[in-house]
Structure 1
Amino acid sequence: MSELVRVERLVVDFPVRTGLLRQRRVRAVDGIDLELGRGEILGLVGESGCGKSTLARAIVGLAPPSAGRVLLDGVPVPARRPPGMRRRIQMIYQDPGSSLDPRRTVSQTLAEPLRRDRTVPAGQVGLRTRELLEMVGLGERQAHALPRELSGGQRQRVAIARALAVEPEVLVADEAVAALDASVAGSVLNLLSDLRERLGLTVLFISHDLATVRGLCDRVAVMYLGSIVEEGPVAEVFARPGHPYTRVLLDAVPSRHRRRSGTVARGLAGEPPSPLRVPPGCRFHPRCPQAAERCGEAEPPEVRRDGQRVWCHFSWRDGQAFEL
């Protein structure tokens, strides 16, 4: 599988006010390296506030990097992206209700990017709009509706169709099904999987739902406090997680195996540290169930095994396997 998107040592800082006259910078994304292969779905998971959405926005071009770079097909992406490069990476947001213009019908919403980017000749805009609606499982009835007249799942399908209007190569789905009911979310996930197959799309799928990631994604990256702590093929990471943070996340997922055995899920102790006060050494060590003295003193090394990458002093220490 050829590489389409590469993130190299990406850093994103934001200014924050810490007092009446004091201002500091908080590091939301801290030196991340990540790759997306052409045609694959990569899941990005982690607790709220770990930097997943900021990383997504940096890849799309909505959050300027403070350091590092994003490459598309091996070409560095400039800070001011030309229209052709912007079209190649599109984003699907968590709440389509707030990202769709409430005064525009669905057909007007889809026609706007077609006309702006001249994706098709002016005389074919209507035809292309109907094709996009059909592609996401909607029809003529929804074409003339306003966003408030649609269900949550229909609005998300319109948002996907709008992203597809400019014929992107990469979709970044930021918690795209988190606000939907389980049955509706399932249909949207099936749509994303089908679009990947039909159009050869590459998808960065951001979610807190590990069971969903396991069913949809080819690879998964686990993020904690601005950094990637584990990355690899979904089957390997879920079967033999190498980082204690990944193991705790998986252990918290309800499963038939755990219900049958009567095992109680183990949670993480305490809250994640503030990005303004990142712990020394391994940033997970204050909450880690297997932390040792060296964890608070030295940055964890990168360890590779069977296609997985793990940043931990004690990778795969307990060898525990998980069944979801």
Structure 2
Amino acid sequence: MDGVEAVFVDLSNVAKDPLLGFSADHAALSRWDRLRAVWLRDHAGQPDFTLIADSTLPRALSATDQGRLTSMVNSGAAVVVADADTEVLARAVASSGIALSNDRYVDHRKLAGLHQARLVGWVVRGENVRLQERSLERLLSAVISARAQKQIFKELGIAEDAPELSYRWFCRDTGCRETLVAIPRFERRDPVCPSCGGFVDRGAPWQSPIWIKIMRGPDELCRFVLEDGERTFVGRGQGDDVVTVGDEEEADEALTFLAERHVELTNTEGTLHVRDNNTERGTTLRRQVKGHLGQFQPPMPVPADRTTIVGLGTKVVLGKSPFTIQIAGSRGL
């Protein structure tokens, strides 16, 4: 890379990673020295490093490293803040720079402008360290394959109400294509990533999740999850708060029936609420006829001045297009 690169380093994340080098202390700045050398080896451009540490790091360092960190802060090379994760990502977004961290940032996927930053982590294999760029777009929604879920359920013999499914799971391997693992595989009672076989970490429980799928006629385009209190739009536009339908580069005429932010979806305590975003072509609901699978009631307009509750089995039709939104059911199946 040519030119100056703004690189915002999660110093706490680096200094506390034992794979970057053994230390009798919980954290060591020598681990940053090693990672910095790897960066300079692999990147031709001139880096402008800003080291960002959280307030817990100094007391985890040796007295010598504490003095070194103080010198870094005094020279302007480092800052100490209450929440390094948020600060690193916010600065990277603001400057269209790079966040150097192995943090998954799963709690920051609603940050505005997320697509403007790059996220680089590292993988340690014995004595070798390599840098690995990861996509931040994956944080915008948890897109799950229905076919993959069904196959994994079958292989594992897991019931849909199994306790393992109540939690988020995250693959530890930054080189893996998975960030959020919908359903882990278990080997000798240890949860592992179904894609790479690496170990996974159990995160916090899902908060009243609703699994939603977007259809084009009979074909599923994608699915995502909304947790309690979350809101998103669906339409043909781009943005951190939009689940984009289709690809305008494919010249799909059906997209002309959609607004950029066509419909608003909100999860309120596990119930899906929908609101038309005052669009020209409107949004309608098609509810199932009770006792008649596959039969639907006449379309009912979705108002723009208030939300409407959407239940399981109801189709949300976007304008006069073939695009519909549906609740995917338990765990997205």
TM-score (norm 2): 0.25
Which structure dedicates a bigger proportion of its chain to strand?
A: 2
Which structure dedicates a bigger proportion of its chain to helix?
A: 1
**Greater radius of gyration (CA):** 2
TM-score (norm 1): 0.25
